[in-house]
Amino acid sequence: MSQAGVVTWLAVRELWITFRLVILLLALVAVGAIVALVPASLPATMQRLAIGMGAASLVVAAVTAWSVAEERQQGRAGWLVTRSVPRGTLLGGWFVALSAVVLAGTIATGILGWLAASGVSLRLDPTAYAVRFGAVAATVVAVVALGVLAGTLGRPRVAALLAVILAAASGLLAWLVPAAPGMIPGAAFVELAALVEGTTSDVVAWQSAGVALVAAAVLLGLARLALERADL
């Protein structure tokens, strides 16, 4: 097994042992379960789904930042580095592990959300829903990258608080600045909330997904630079 694979497996194992893996999955899947179990009109269902995913992404930001920061604080990251594991591999392993867990929960929520929406609307375009929820998934991956960056900058509590504040600020900005649709990370939640029957244009949703992925790449680059200077 490669070094990256070992680090990823160790990260998943650590998430499982500390019950953070369960917390992440519950935070995400609970959103879909609540939406599916509490019937509402299509606009209300989409709004609940978007708000729930936004709230769950804050949990993702906090858990990610706390986990990475604790790896540094407890010396486990330093131990791996002294065993010739590059810092970039350490960072990538944690990002892949957390992203895989988060995407699994997001996909489950997306399926539950579709079942709830299709139960109250027979004319909802499945492609439009899939594109918008895909953009939400890309945004959640960007939140993981934000959490990883925050985790390289401070102690667990400070890192978690920083990640939550920045993630919430991005989502709030996307909601308050409708003049720049799709160009601010977090706009995917706004697009999902606005989905109704007859929606045909997916341009903004695709833009939201692209912006989220670019933001994730930039945040990971910054995290790589920060980790080079971080105390392990």
133-152 confidence digits (pLDDT tens): 999 999 999 999 999 999 99
Pick from 152, 163, 158: nearest CA to 232: 152
Q: Residue 101 and residue 184: Cα distance in Å, rounded?
A: 25
The pLDDT value given to residue 141: 96
DSSP calls for 108-171: HHHHHHHHHHHHH-SS--HHHHHHHHHHHHHHHHHHHHHHHHHHTTS-HHHHHHHHHHHHHHHH
Instruction: Return the domain boundaries, the chain.
Output: 3-229
Q: Residue 100 and residue 53: Cα distance in Å, rounded?
A: 16
**At residue 40, what are phi and psi to the nearest 5 degrees?**
-155, 175
Q: Residue 227 and residue 218: Cα distance in Å, rounded?
A: 14
The pLDDT value given to residue 1: 59
pLDDT classification of 180: cutoffs 50, 70, 90: low
Residues 79-109 have pLDDT tens digits of 777 777 788 888 889 999 999 999 999 999 9
